[in-house]
Amino acid sequence: MIAKYGEKYGKLIINGQVVIGMNKEMCRYAWGNPSEINTTTVANHIHEQWVYSLRCYLYFDDGILTAIQN
């Protein structure tokens, strides 16, 4: 992971952590696949809500993590 994403993001992924600014691939490596994905398209922008168990949600705008809800 460090070779692919650099030291900062690689270490976070290895430790199962997500942070604002990660892309969807990084988040899948860190947390695995979500149980559900809700997608909304507005004015050529794609917004996604990834639903995980334990009421955790990740929100993406155009493929970049912009919000985390626990």
What digits encode the pLDDT tens for the residues 10-65?
A: 999 999 999 999 999 999 999 999 999 999 999 989 999 999 988 899 999 999 99
Domain that holds residue 17: 2-69
Q: Where are the beta strands (DSSP E) in 1-70?
A: 36-42, 45-52, 56-61, 64-69
Global pTM reads 0.92
CATH of the domain at 21: 3.30.1450.10
Give the relative orientation of helices 24-31 and 2-14 as an angle to the nearest 10 degrees.
Answer: 50
What digits encode the pLDDT tens for the residues 21-34?
A: 999 999 999 999 99
Q: Which amino acid is at 41?
A: T
Question: What domain count does the chain have?
Answer: 1
C-beta separation of 37 from 24 below 8 A: no
What pLDDT is recorded for position 43? 92
